[in-house]
Amino acid sequence: MSYLLGIDIGTTGTKVLLVSPDGSVVARSSREYPLYTPKPGWAEQNPDDWWQATVAGIRDVLGASGVACEQVLGIGLSGQMHGSVFLDERHEVLRPAILWCDQRTADQCRWITSQVGEQTVIEETFNPVLTGFTAPKIVWLRQNEPQTYARVRKILLPKDYIRFRLTGEFATEVSDASGTSLLNIAQRRWSQKMLAALDLTEDMLPKVYESPEVSGRISAQAAKMTGLAEGTPVVGGGGDQAAGAVGNGIVRPGTVSVTTGTSGVVFAHMDEPRMDPQLRTHTFCHAVPGKWHVMGVMLSAGGSLRWYRDALAQQEVALAKELGVDPYELLMTEAAQAPPGCEGLIFLPYLSGERTPYPDPWARGVYFGLSLRHGRPHLVRAILEGVSYGLRDSLEILREMGLEISQVRASGGGARSKLWRQIQADVFDADLVTINVDEGPAFGAALLAGVGAGAYATVEEACDRTISITDRTLPNSNDSALYDTLYPIYQALYASLKDHFLEVGRLV
């Protein structure tokens, strides 16, 4: 019997899955680590925390399953996108990694756009330069920590640092590289124009592969640490969104995924690269060779609910511990006590700035419409509804682009809640389906490993053999009509507050 290993280097933790070629999950492990915010709007992590979690996770699943290391056919990697890992000439980490949700680089985004030229940026990368992306982080380091920058020899994305630790190879793949502002999206290779304009050299970056391609093999040192067999192939893998889309079966036109994790993502497959004319969404290379995808990203989806749990729900957390249940279960039960529309309470989920449809690092979270009538159930439900409005923003853009939307698939932590699925179906006014697997990017990474190792001929075949629909949530017409009335008010609030967000941000 053979197996596939999928590893996802997430923002809150690393997930490791051991999967059989029929899609059955044999064993899973999740190891958490901290996120550091040394200043408002900053977000950093220690890459060694990712590595320690990866080693422990691999040992967890091999130990729990009893699978011999020789039975692992291949390994796929996924992870949080855009983060920057800076290595010196000895390949040691120079400073904490700057993450996707870090908002310190607004000035650098403007500088890059001016330096390269806006038209060239769009022609080469198909996207504006945004604060979450990698290139502005590189420029920030050069401008603000020049002594550190002078020692930089390699720049890696989070999952690709783990690849280096596993294989000794400096490699990435097209989907993750798409979020650096350094890749030519149409040609699926590093952009020489972007590199030249920013005074970067290609040897500072890893080699680019297609996602199912073998990019390296487990080294003797990594084999000793993890329990894997030396020489086991490691494929390119995918950025968390592209790998998650493979794990959801979003590998053909028409099917759209809505993922509610820490961030919120609306994702659609494309056979040809296309852009939103207003550049509100991202066009990236897909993890399917020779294909592309478009996605809208909100930065604090499930992250907004996590903020509420940590900041305001100590009572629920304590009770959940006493009852032996997940605190989110109690929060959902509480939210169900509030009526649709929360009696006029609206939440703007911009806790760490926003990306789609507003690329604004200064945007902040807001409760609007609070009254003496509102209680804790309203506060929680308003978050669920506000995030759903934000996801609808991206769906509306896809419709404007003329993309076919024949089915919406829900995934991520938010999809586990029946209440949140119903709210999304009502806000979108669309059927929402779930599938037999909800393991996120790690599952997609395992499927990509299967293609590279020969267990499947193509990515599409891998999805067809492992994924099926299990549940369908239909919209309630009355609630959809109510949300249609509230949605324009939600949209108008950002425009009304935009300048004030900037003023307050500058004061802080």
pLDDT digits (tens, 9 = 90+) for 491-500: 999 999 999 9
Q: Do 452 and 357 belong together in one domain?
A: no
pLDDT digits (tens, 9 = 90+) for 11-68: 989 999 999 999 999 999 999 999 999 998 899 999 999 999 999 999 999 999 999 9
In a domain? residue 424: yes
Q: Do 220 and 313 belong together in one domain?
A: no
Position 406: which residue type?
Answer: S
Q: Do 69 and 108 belong together in one domain?
A: yes
CA angle, residues 469, 23, 411, in degrees to nearest 5: 45
d(CA 412, CA 204): 34
What's the DSSP call for residue 262?
Answer: S
> Residue 403 is encoded by which pair of tokens?
């993309």
Q: Do 240 and 358 belong together in one domain?
A: no
Position 370: which residue type?
Answer: L
* Radius of gyration from C-alpha coordinates of the chain: 22
In a domain? residue 291: no
- Given the DSSP bridges, would you call strands 183-184 and 25-32 parallel, antiparallel or unpaired? unpaired
- Domain count for the chain, please give it: 2
In a domain? residue 425: yes
* Residue 182: closest CA among 136, 119, 242: 136
Q: Do 172 and 190 belong together in one domain?
A: yes
Torsion angle of the four alpha carbons 288, 293, 298, 302, in this order, in degrees rounded to the nearest 10? -30
d(CA 330, CA 260): 18
What pLDDT sits at residue 352?
A: 87
- Using a pLDDT cut of 90, give the percent of the chain over it: 92
CA 246 to chain centre: 13
Asked whether the predicted pLDDT for residue 224 surpasses 90, the reply is yes
Residues near 224 by beta carbon (within 8 Å), at least 6 away in sequence:
none
Q: Do 102 and 201 belong together in one domain?
A: yes
Residues near 493 by beta carbon (within 8 Å), at least 6 away in sequence:
346, 348, 366, 368
In a domain? residue 131: yes
> Residue 401 is encoded by which pair of tokens?
């682009």
Asked whether the predicted pLDDT for residue 413 surpasses 90, the reply is no
Task: Look up tokens 């399953």; give the residue.
Answer: 65
Torsion angle of the four alpha carbons 209, 247, 222, 44, in this order, in degrees rounded to the nearest 10? 90
Q: Do 424 and 494 belong together in one domain?
A: yes
Please give the average per-residue pLDDT across 395-409, as a whole number.
92
Active-site annotation, residues: 240
Distances (CA, A) of 443 to 88, 257, 373: 33, 15, 44
Give yes or no for a contact between 82 and 297, defined as CB atoms under 8 angstroms apart: no
Q: Do 95 and 144 belong together in one domain?
A: yes
**Helices 376-400 & 418-428 angle (0-180, nearest 10):** 40
Task: Look up tokens 């509102």; give the residue.
Answer: 374
d(CA 360, CA 113): 16
* Residue 243: closest CA among 494, 12, 15: 15
Q: In angstroms, how far apart are the furthest CA atoms of the chain? A: 64
In a domain? residue 476: yes
Give yes or no for a contact between 101 and 299, defined as CB atoms under 8 angstroms apart: yes
What pLDDT sits at residue 157?
A: 98
CATH number, domain containing residue 228: 3.30.420.40
What pLDDT sits at residue 406?
A: 85
DSSP 214-230: EEEE--HHHHHHH-PPT
pLDDT digits (tens, 9 = 90+) for 260-300: 988 899 999 999 999 999 999 999 999 999 999 999 989 99
In a domain? residue 294: no
Please give the average per-residue pLDDT across 95-123, as a whole number.
96
Please give the average per-residue pLDDT across 325-337, as a whole number.
96
d(CA 271, CA 255): 13
- Using a pLDDT cut of 70, give the percent of the chain over it: 100
Which helix (H) or strand (E) is 288 found in, with range?
none
Q: Do 466 and 477 belong together in one domain?
A: no
**Burial class (CB within 10 angstroms; exposed 0-12, middle 13-18, buried 19+) of 283:** buried
In a domain? residue 257: no
In a domain? residue 338: yes
What pLDDT sits at residue 365?
A: 97
Position 110: which residue type?
Answer: R
- Domain span including residue 201: 3-248+438-470
What pLDDT sits at residue 47?
A: 98
What's the distance, Cα to Cα, between the start and end of the chain in Å?
58
Which helix (H) or strand (E) is 144 found in, with range?
helix 134-144
Distances (CA, A) of 209 to 176, 205, 212, 269, 480: 10, 12, 8, 19, 44
Q: Do 430 and 446 belong together in one domain?
A: no
Asked whether the predicted pLDDT for residue 508 surpasses 90, the reply is no
pLDDT digits (tens, 9 = 90+) for 333-352: 999 999 999 999 999 999 98
Q: Do 465 and 479 belong together in one domain?
A: no
Asked whether the predicted pLDDT for residue 88 surpasses 90, the reply is yes
Q: Do 233 and 326 belong together in one domain?
A: no
pLDDT bucket at 151, cuts 50 / 70 / 90: very high
What pLDDT sits at residue 263?
A: 87
